[in-house]
Structure 1
Amino acid sequence: MKTRNALLLVTASLAALCASAPATAQDAPAQDEAADPQTTDDDATTSREIVVTGYRASLGSAQTIKRSSDAIVDAIVSEDIGKLPDNNAAEAIARVPGVQVLRYNDEAGVVLVRGLPDVATTFNGREFFTADDRVLHLQDFPAGVAAGLEVYKSGTSNLIEPGLAGLINLRSRRPFDVRDTEIAGEIRASYNDQSRSFDPAGNLLLTKRWDTPIGELGALINFSYVRTTYRNADRYADSAIISPRGFNEGDPGDDIPVTTPGVGNFRFPANAGNFYEKGVRHRPAINGTVQWKPTADLEVYAEGLWQAYRGDVLRDAFNVNFERRSAAGQLPTISNVVLVPGEPNKAASFTKTGGYVPEFFRSTQDDSTDTYQGAVGFKWKTGRATLSGDFAYTNSKYKAKEDSVDAQLATAPTINVDWDVRGSAVFDLGNYDISNPANTLWRGYFQRDFVTKGDGVQGRLDLDLETDWSWLPRLQFGIRATDRTAAVQNNNRYGYTAFAGLRLDSLPTGTLELISDGFRGDPQRFQNWLAAPRQSIRDNVDALRQATLRTVQQLTVLYPNDFGIREAVTKFATEEIPYDPFGGFRAREASYAGYAQGKFDFDLGGEVRADGTFGVRVVNTDGRYSGFSRIDGQPVAQTTRQNYVDVLPSIQTRIRFSNELQLRLAFNQTRTRPGFGQLNPSLNITRNNPGPDGSPPRYAAFGSGGNPDLKPLTSDNYDATFEYYFSKNGSATVAVFYRDLFGFINNYTRDVQDPVYGLIQINRPENAGAGKIKGAEASFQTFFDFLPGFLSGFGTQLNVTYLDGTNGLPTVLGEGARQVRIPGLSKWAYNLTAFYERNGLSARLSYNRRSNFINSYNRNANEELYAGEISRPVARLDFSLSYEAMKGITIVANASNLLGEPFNNYRYYNETQYFGRDLRVEGRYYSLGLRFKM
């Protein structure tokens, strides 16, 4: 309520200020509005109009945005998105210089700008978010929603606070963008060669403008739908590296027997296995806008968006453990050991017999997201002043319901494992009869209800004043207020049933099936095992609950002192999963911002001119974050509060040597707030189960949670670009940049000796130390119009980015902050694109590659220093083809991920040695469709 009252107050204050402004004004230059995502007037429409007919016009529109912007901006417009083989906005933006994406399950997810994930996101210039996040999930936006995407790599003071990496604005179409009436759309069918499924997609745009007695009216509605079916296969080796001797130093009873003579002690991953994920994603979206211009000086608009996700997910995992004892208390035996040449303490392959049985599970999940935003706004010119405002409400909710049936083999088979075959482990089970249901036992049942949501109101007022000063033609002022809430609730229960010795096919899910794998020509020797059908699990969740309850009730008689079994009896006694106070947090955060900015323009002599902006933005953040910690098994309420003020100066200068040649220099400061979940003050500690023989586990407990002591990331940003525009769609640019940062946030795993639990492993977010990023970008685009005949249809777009970034790790045990590469940052990334467009035929071949990057740093037992997990280089090749069969009707064909290169990472367990971790095989997409416009 406090923020809502503040919005009313600032509205009245700025309206009064505007009314007292001088009443002589000229239209603002279009170039000043081109990069302002909050602009709605005709000048902005002229400079950023997305009505294009091909690659040439599309590249020209994006080039105009970049050329005339106050800030350093790269853009991609609708024809780029529509004519690339991209299902969503995240895929499309991956082709912008300096932008990289992290892909999982056949789609782009996390977006990085210049190597950093802390990117602010806006929709039509206003804050937009998904569930409890601070940012929107670009992968949830079908490409058909977007008219353009703008990546701000430097921020001006009138922009919503950019993140450490910058700001991405997704812009939808508006009715005043077209002249009269437009009906346009696309229908498409796609095929995934790994899931072997066909999927539909399409969008329909309807828009019209009217001249009426009450002024000009425009209305637009856009429908979009994308379905994708994916199937990924992952074979992995564990990040925990062990040795036969030294598992528990000084305790020979824990030494794993090795029968191969002369090999000495050596190291290998504690686990290996397969992980498959299959799913169907449905992403519908509807957005609409009404614009009204009653006079030439006043425009009012209202717009709304519903964007949704529906998922049906199936996960299968099979895990082999190489260190644990059997149920009878016997350690495994290792034989046939072969060591890596030149690394006598590192295993290349061996055979394991006995020990703990392999475990596996089948998890089914139904999940959904619904995100709504409604907004109203206006722009009013009066005299020298222009007043604009935008007020919006956003609500977003994500829900997931998961049911997992766990199993294990009845006996421990002989396992033959090779630790590095094309990047990760492969293994087999010898002659074990995996298809015999008698060899598969029920191990447990897991259920989870997960909900995360957020909502918020926001409002801004901006005043633009023209002056009589030639060197300072415009002054801009604005205020903005927001009120956000975020909440997460994760209720779950697990019944461990392995001690009962029940066969998996005795459950109410019926006959077992041999699961299908997702590999494509992979050398993994073991790929399939038995599981209950997905639909049988979903249709029998209550019968599974009752079976679990009966079983754990019987086990309490056999194991009366087992707390986990007794807890399961309580949790499975009700149909609904009991509320878990440890499984959630709440946050409420208000922010108040104001800015002042001047736009300067003056001669430097001859034809050289300089223009730009200078200003400051002041932001007050007031947040309250609460949750529950588990202390001695009891919930203890935890609440923290943060209140701080950021003063963020910025200056942007453009020196125009000629119409074609210009230099930009920029400096600004940014602050990136920690995520709401990262600020969760609760810490949940879960005791680890002893082995089947009662032997103590390595870790007495595992802990995870947020960190209420996190500070915002801070950065001083320096940028320079040299830009040469030699034609309407031809340019060459070079950029250099430097970021001086502190407090980069990442999750770190540490071992902690707790006085109550003993040795526990805790994973939580922490601020890293000081760091820096320096880098350079180069880009070039043109069509070869000077070539004769059909050769004039060829064109190209090339860009390359170099990054060098480090930060200090959190200190441990008095150590100094160790400087390491920033997670997620690739040193090199480039896009190479070739076009052809002539006589109705358009073709594009695009190659994208990024070099290796750090996933994370962990500090596990027996490791003296943090060790890193690194992903190998990732490359993709995409192709698109279209032909205008008749006016307004175009046939389109796309192919994505033609190379089909697997994702692969590896884990360093000391300064020089590593094992392969994950090798994930992803699908190729082929699509055929029809695009129309009338």
Structure 2
Amino acid sequence: MGIKRTLLLASSALCVAQPVWAQEQGTSAAADTGGEVVVTGYRTSLAQARNSKRDATIIKDSIAASDIAAFPDLNLAEALQRLPGVAINREAGEGRRISLRGLGPDFTRVQLNGMEVLGNVDSPQDSRGQTTRDRAFDFNLFAAELFNHVDVEKSYQAQQTEGGLAGTVGLFTARPFDYKGTKIALSAQGGTNTLTRDFQPRLTGLISKNWGNFGILVSGAYSRRNTREEGFDTYRWRRNKANGSNISALTAAEQAKINSGDLLFARGNRLSVWDSKQERIGLTTSVQWAPTDKVHVTLDGLYGQFKGDRFETHLASRGGGSSTWLGGGETFAGTVYPNSRVNAIQWNGRNEVTYLDVSGGKASTETRIQNTKNVFKQAVLSGDAELVDGLTFTWLGGVERSRYDMPVNDKFTLEGFGDVISDYRGGTYSLVNTYKFNTTDPNFWHAKRLYVNNTYQDSAFDNVKGRFDYKVSSDDTISVGGEWRRFANSGYYAEADNIGTSGFVSGKVNANPSAYAKTYNGYSGQSWTIVDFPKMLQTLGINRSQYLTNPLGVFAVEERTGAAFAQYDWNHMLGGVPFRGNIGARYYRTTVTSQGTANVGPVTVRGEYEGVLPAANFIFELNPGLMVRFAASKNINRPALGALAVNGSVTNDNGNVTVSIGNPNLRPYKSTDFDISTEYYFGSVGYVAGALFYKTLDGYISTQTINNVPYSQTGLPDNVYPGVTGSTVVDSYSRPVNLAKTNLFGIELSGQTDFKFLPAPFDRLGTAVNFTYVDSRLDYSKIYQGSIPTTLEGLSKYNANATLYYQDKAFDARVSANYRSGYIFSASPVLTALGPDQDVTGFEGTVYVDMSAHYSVTKNVQLTLNGINLTNQREKQYSNSTKRLYVVTRSGTTLLGGVRVTF
């Protein structure tokens, strides 16, 4: 549906937005009423959240703990997906990142205790962008129990830090003034996953002591679990010919078809398993002091550690010329292995080969190990003071340091030659391989290749800000303030490939892996030979560290930003209607310094940009139950870190000079945003809501290649490459630039209510539902040769969530289903001489179903049960807009049961 038509239909039935889950801090989920246990948490949270949303000046949704250290979900991303406009992606079944109102994770700012933060883990899968350098926050870094509440700000106001084009997520840990006296909460859970079948402990604890004007709180969370994603994948698809294979057994027509180059073969296929042993530790502390009733000081600290020891293995094809089973012949240790022989072939109407039967195809197994560790540290000192009557000063100073280490990222490949059939005829996301050889016999395989790698990244945030609020009258406030921020990100990697290959191929090194081989039985229905890494290194006498002494891709990016704002808030009557809101503007100036390595020596490039961001929020309360909101603002989104890094290359191939590099002179994405919503409230819990939002996005960043450019225009020093000067003509110059412009339009519909009007026991039921539609298109063909016009990367047009809950005196339970429609993951094509491998990659839609239940034995003891991914949802990733098989995985269902005790 076009944007104009959708806007017309939606405006004719505009009616509100957003169910939110929140509760005033310190409200207990189980109240003692004459010795009777009464569960009030979830329903009470909905009612209080409704009021909180109603009172907000900006468009905002919230989630909060229903009790001490009792967040609604075990994962922050999975809790956020219950809100309208929020979609998430999962890693091994667990929520990792969010997309807000159709814009990807890089467009959402995340603040922790009032300070902007960056916290990245990674993905074990290359197809998902394993160690991407961006500004997104990975919400699986911390256990949800460490947090007291979360705010999602969708409209902008001048006092908010600039940079969240989609919105800002505020995370808040618990503080001692949230509770009275002494509070203790302990929780222990244990569970398992249907694929890993391990024991997964999960422990949390909180203790808070409040002496009236002084308080201390400490909390901690520990969890350990094994994860598994298993499935099958291709390496995309490519047009190919016989590639040296013997095709004489085929018909003349089949031979002609292969030789035409029209057929698309999977570049490879494999059965795959990604295992990880994860350990997560989180600690928070908070100290609050109120020396007078006009002065408040808070010190918050947070430490997080996320470790993963990964094991990855594949049973794969290794055909020649980027094909599944074609070609592949070689002479190995004196033995001649001919190219494969094609016995039978079938293809579909799109010329995609769906069935291939070969003899002597080259197969392989890959054994990969990775050790990762993420450490996050933050300290924030904040406070407020009433300086004189009506004048308040609020301030914050904070530091954050995070480090991502992958000291081990190694893989070892075995190869062998055998007969095999690959069959894709079961549908787009189907693969059945029939191996006509013993995949578990070590003597079938020979050692071929060792790859070693390590990767390190560091991030640092420093932040100082202050704000003066002056109450001109009881209904009018003028605020002015300023902010200074420093952000730094640096890193490098080292790698070596094909270690041992020449010795294996020549026969000088024994390639029989029997001394260090073992059988892997973890994949459903198929086993194969893998290697024991320590034994392999010892047997072959390899010291991996000697290959990792030369750092590559060295980069360092630093941003320094100064900002100032002025804002006016009011609450008046206009034409007999309550009218409140704010209006203001924010000025920012950012300096970027990017350092990196090209072919020789370090390179340093600097850039800067500035701007003014106006913002206005208006609320009309037409009657006690009906409210209309309007919001308009400008905002920015800073470029991804990888785009700013100067660690590209300059090459001179017989006078043909090629430059590929990052761009520290990138300007931020810019947007102009408009929101309108109508909200109608009824009963003690219920409301229905509808909202429209519209954004214009300018300066969309993409890679541009220009030919015949003077070297002086690249911005690089003359000494980067010998013989290259400012007057040298660069044949091909590639870098990210601010190039494209697009618009984004969306609708949010939501509602919540209890069913008290129904007869017992159905009167204890309730529901909260929402639906979001977003549309935005960009003609990527104007950016990338071979691409197509499509939706923005990461944008799902449709998102919906439905929660049904039941609550009585001692028992409450809820089940939630979340739908996210398919989306484009990358619009950057892969081009070859025979045509593009793909124009886009993307994911199909998913429906995830989760549940939770609680039974209060007493007012202090509660039994808990959580279920995650109850339907074992498949993640299906495709290659090309025609949706060819790329990756299909499952991660299993996780169940956790336990007990929670409060004092």
2:863 is aligned with 1:891: yes
2:418 is aligned with 1:413: yes
Check whether the contact 1:620–1:646 (CA below 8 A) recurs between aligned residues: yes
The aligned residue for residue 557 of structure 1 is none
Check whether the contact 1:244–1:255 (CA below 8 A) recurs between aligned residues: no
Q: Report the Cα distance in structure 1 between the residues aligned to 2:667 and 2:788, rounded to whole angstroms.
A: 19
- Structure 2 vs 1, CA of residues 258 and 115 (structure 1 numbering), >3 Å: closer, same or farther? farther
The aligned residue for residue 871 of structure 1 is 843
2:75 is aligned with 1:121: no
Which amino acid in 2 is paired with 1:609?
Answer: P
Cα deviation, 1:683-711, whole Å, max 9, x if unaligned, reads: 25999xxxxxxxxxxxx999987444543
How far the C-alpha of 1:653 sits from its partner, in A, is 0.6
Question: Could you say what secondary structure the match of 1:60 adopts?
Answer: helix
Which amino acid in 2 is paired with 1:777?
Answer: E
Q: Report the Cα distance in structure 2 between the residues aligned to 1:708 and 1:324, rounded to whole angstroms.
A: 45
Which amino acid in 1 is paired with 2:604?
Answer: T
Which amino acid in 1 is paired with 2:801?
Answer: N
Q: Once superposed, what is the RMSD of the aligned Cα atoms?
A: 3.4
Q: Report the Cα distance in structure 2 between the residues aligned to 1:59 and 1:496, rounded to whole angstroms.
A: 59
Which amino acid in 2 is paired with 1:922?
Answer: S
- Structure 2 vs 1, CA of residues 894 and 469 (structure 1 numbering), >3 Å: closer, same or farther? closer
- Structure 2 vs 1, CA of residues 814 and 137 (structure 1 numbering), >3 Å: closer, same or farther? closer
The aligned residue for residue 481 of structure 1 is 484
How far the C-alpha of 1:273 sits from its partner, in A, is 1.1
The aligned residue for residue 287 of structure 2 is 290
How far the C-alpha of 1:104 sits from its partner, in A, is 2.0
The aligned residue for residue 601 of structure 1 is 571
Which amino acid in 2 is paired with 1:832?
Answer: A
How far the C-alpha of 1:408 sits from its partner, in A, is 2.6
2:405 is aligned with 1:396: no
Q: Report the Cα distance in structure 1 between the residues aligned to 2:203 and 2:307, rounded to whole angstroms.
A: 16
How far the C-alpha of 1:436 sits from its partner, in A, is 1.6
Q: Report the Cα distance in structure 1 between the residues aligned to 2:848 and 2:384, rounded to whole angstroms.
A: 44
Check whether the contact 1:260–1:335 (CA below 8 A) recurs between aligned residues: no
Pairs within 5 Å for 1:740-751: 740-745=696-701
How far the C-alpha of 1:297 sits from its partner, in A, is 0.6
The aligned residue for residue 311 of structure 2 is 314
Check whether the contact 1:674–1:713 (CA below 8 A) recurs between aligned residues: yes
- Structure 2 vs 1, CA of residues 725 and 790 (structure 1 numbering), >3 Å: closer, same or farther? same
Q: Report the Cα distance in structure 2 between the residues aligned to 1:922 and 1:703, rounded to whole angstroms.
A: 42
Question: Could you say what secondary structure the match of 2:47 adopts?
Answer: helix
- Structure 2 vs 1, CA of residues 175 and 592 (structure 1 numbering), >3 Å: closer, same or farther? same
Q: Report the Cα distance in structure 2 between the residues aligned to 1:708 and 1:888, rounded to whole angstroms.
A: 56
2:89 is aligned with 1:109: no
Q: Report the Cα distance in structure 1 between the residues aligned to 2:144 and 2:85, rounded to whole angstroms.
A: 20
The aligned residue for residue 9 of structure 2 is none
Q: Report the Cα distance in structure 2 between the residues aligned to 1:333 and 1:720, rounded to whole angstroms.
A: 65
Check whether the contact 1:195–1:518 (CA below 8 A) recurs between aligned residues: no
Q: Report the Cα distance in structure 1 between the residues aligned to 2:634 and 2:856, rounded to whole angstroms.
A: 48
The aligned residue for residue 356 of structure 2 is 350
- Structure 2 vs 1, CA of residues 853 and 747 (structure 1 numbering), >3 Å: closer, same or farther? farther
2:166 is aligned with 1:165: yes
How far the C-alpha of 1:928 sits from its partner, in A, is 0.4
How far the C-alpha of 1:415 sits from its partner, in A, is 2.4
Percent of residue pairs identical: 23
2:622 is aligned with 1:622: no
Q: Report the Cα distance in structure 1 between the residues aligned to 2:24 and 2:68, rounded to whole angstroms.
A: 19
Check whether the contact 2:467–2:482 (CA below 8 A) recurs between aligned residues: yes
How far the C-alpha of 1:420 sits from its partner, in A, is 4.6
Q: Report the Cα distance in structure 2 between the residues aligned to 1:650 and 1:147, rounded to whole angstroms.
A: 29
Cα deviation, 1:583-621, whole Å, max 9, x if unaligned, reads: 220112111011100012322223x21111111111111
How far the C-alpha of 1:54 sits from its partner, in A, is 1.1
The aligned residue for residue 853 of structure 2 is 881
Question: Could you say what secondary structure the match of 1:500 adopts?
Answer: helix
The aligned residue for residue 262 of structure 1 is 253
How far the C-alpha of 1:575 sits from its partner, in A, is 4.1
Q: Report the Cα distance in structure 2 between the residues aligned to 1:703 and 1:275, rounded to whole angstroms.
A: 37
How far the C-alpha of 1:749 sits from its partner, in A, is 12
Check whether the contact 1:750–1:860 (CA below 8 A) recurs between aligned residues: no
Cα deviation, 1:775-814, whole Å, max 9, x if unaligned, reads: 1011111212233433221100101111111123263699
Check whether the contact 1:85–1:894 (CA below 8 A) recurs between aligned residues: no
Which amino acid in 1 is paired with 2:841?
Answer: E
Aligned length: 815
Q: Report the Cα distance in structure 1 between the residues aligned to 2:893 and 2:229, rounded to whole angstroms.
A: 11
- Structure 2 vs 1, CA of residues 818 and 734 (structure 1 numbering), >3 Å: closer, same or farther? same
Q: TM-score, normalised by structure 2?
A: 0.84
- Structure 2 vs 1, CA of residues 490 and 507 (structure 1 numbering), >3 Å: closer, same or farther? farther
How far the C-alpha of 1:926 sits from its partner, in A, is 0.6
How far the C-alpha of 1:156 sits from its partner, in A, is 0.9
How far the C-alpha of 1:648 sits from its partner, in A, is 1.0
- Structure 2 vs 1, CA of residues 859 and 312 (structure 1 numbering), >3 Å: closer, same or farther? closer
The aligned residue for residue 712 of structure 1 is 668
Check whether the contact 2:28–2:41 (CA below 8 A) recurs between aligned residues: no
How far the C-alpha of 1:713 sits from its partner, in A, is 1.2
Which amino acid in 1 is paired with 2:484?
Answer: A
The aligned residue for residue 57 of structure 2 is 70
Cα deviation, 1:57-106, whole Å, max 9, x if unaligned, reads: 11123223321111111111113997788432122211111100111222
Q: Report the Cα distance in structure 1 between the residues aligned to 2:47 and 2:784, rounded to whole angstroms.
A: 56
The aligned residue for residue 296 of structure 2 is 299
Q: Report the Cα distance in structure 1 between the residues aligned to 2:523 and 2:41, rounded to whole angstroms.
A: 38
Q: TM-score, normalised by structure 1?
A: 0.81
The aligned residue for residue 100 of structure 1 is 87
The aligned residue for residue 694 of structure 1 is none
Q: Report the Cα distance in structure 1 between the residues aligned to 2:704 and 2:359, rounded to whole angstroms.
A: 34
- Structure 2 vs 1, CA of residues 505 and 598 (structure 1 numbering), >3 Å: closer, same or farther? farther
How far the C-alpha of 1:656 sits from its partner, in A, is 0.7
Q: Report the Cα distance in structure 2 between the residues aligned to 1:898 and 1:920, rounded to whole angstroms.
A: 15
Q: Report the Cα distance in structure 2 between the residues aligned to 1:413 and 1:685, rounded to whole angstroms.
A: 43
Q: Report the Cα distance in structure 1 between the residues aligned to 2:691 and 2:81, rounded to whole angstroms.
A: 18
Which amino acid in 2 is paired with 1:455?
Answer: A
The aligned residue for residue 374 of structure 2 is 369
Which amino acid in 2 is paired with 1:122?
Answer: Q
Check whether the contact 2:553–2:647 (CA below 8 A) recurs between aligned residues: no
The aligned residue for residue 518 of structure 2 is 513
Query: Which has the larger displacement, 715-724 or 412-421?
Result: 412-421
Which amino acid in 1 is paired with 2:499?
Answer: Y
Which amino acid in 2 is paired with 1:628?
Answer: T
Which amino acid in 1 is paired with 2:431?
Answer: V
Cα deviation, 1:818-860, whole Å, max 9, x if unaligned, reads: 6321111111111111000002110101111111111112142
Pairing partner for 2:77 from 74, 77, 90: 90
Question: Could you say what secondary structure the match of 1:56 adopts?
Answer: helix
Cα deviation, 1:846-888, whole Å, max 9, x if unaligned, reads: 1111111111121422437971222111111112111101121
Which amino acid in 2 is paired with 1:407?
Answer: T
Q: Report the Cα distance in structure 2 between the residues aligned to 1:811 and 1:83, rounded to whole angstroms.
A: 49
How far the C-alpha of 1:393 sits from its partner, in A, is 1.2
The aligned residue for residue 207 of structure 1 is 208
Pairs within 5 Å for 1:50-69: 51-52=28-29, 53-69=40-56
Q: Which has the higher contact order (CA 8 A, sep 6+)?
A: 2
Check whether the contact 1:364–1:538 (CA below 8 A) recurs between aligned residues: no
Q: Report the Cα distance in structure 2 between the residues aligned to 1:932 and 1:200, rounded to whole angstroms.
A: 16
2:130 is aligned with 1:130: no
The aligned residue for residue 692 of structure 2 is 736
Pairs within 5 Å for 1:319-330: 319-320=316-317, 321=319, 322=323, 323-328=326-331
The aligned residue for residue 696 of structure 1 is none
Check whether the contact 2:613–2:633 (CA below 8 A) recurs between aligned residues: yes
Check whether the contact 1:895–1:927 (CA below 8 A) recurs between aligned residues: yes
Check whether the contact 1:407–1:440 (CA below 8 A) recurs between aligned residues: no
Question: Could you say what secondary structure the match of 2:541 adopts?
Answer: helix
Which amino acid in 1 is paired with 2:608?
Answer: N
Cα deviation, 1:414-439, whole Å, max 9, x if unaligned, reads: 22111353543524354212222111
- Structure 2 vs 1, CA of residues 122 and 403 (structure 1 numbering), >3 Å: closer, same or farther? closer
